């Protein structure tokens, strides 16, 4: 549980650097339609999350995450020792 908290804390910091607030209903906003993010910035966000958390997210799984909440759930499913 402690490791998930650390992962979540680092992920929240990365989202904040991209100007994404995870409070309230904003965590369910679609990256492109609601947050108006360009796909290049979404890729940068994912790269930064992978770098900070020292994980690798498979391309197939990334495509299924369309909101910050879904992306965080995906990150929490990945074992941290991979």
* Whether pLDDT at 82 is above 70: no
- Residue span of the structural domain in which 71 resides: 2-77
Phi-psi region of 64 (alpha: psi -120 to 50; beta: other; left: phi over 0): alpha
- Residue 78 confidence (pLDDT): 81
pLDDT value, residue 10: 93
Q: Is residue 50 part of a domain?
A: yes
CA angle 57, 43, 38 (to 5 degrees): 145
Which CATH number covers residue 48? 1.10.1200
Number of domains into which the chain is organized: 1
Q: 82 in a domain, yes or no? A: no
Q: Assess whether pLDDT exceeds 60 at residue 81.
A: no
pLDDT digits 0-9 by tens, 6-59: 889 999 999 999 999 898 888 999 999 999 999 999 999 999 999 999 999 888
Residue 70 lies in a domain: yes
Q: Is residue 47 part of a domain?
A: yes
């Amino acid at each position: 549980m402690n490791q998930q908290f650390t992962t979540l804390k680092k992920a929240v910091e990365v989202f904040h650097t991209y100007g994404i607030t995870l409070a309230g209903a904003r965590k369910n906003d679609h990256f492109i339609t609601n947050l108006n993010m360009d796909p290049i910035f979404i890729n940068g966000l994912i790269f930064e999350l992978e770098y900070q958390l020292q994980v690798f997210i498979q391309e197939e799984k990334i495509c299924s995450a369309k909101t910050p909440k879904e992306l965080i759930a995906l990150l929490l499913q990945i074992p941290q020792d991979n």
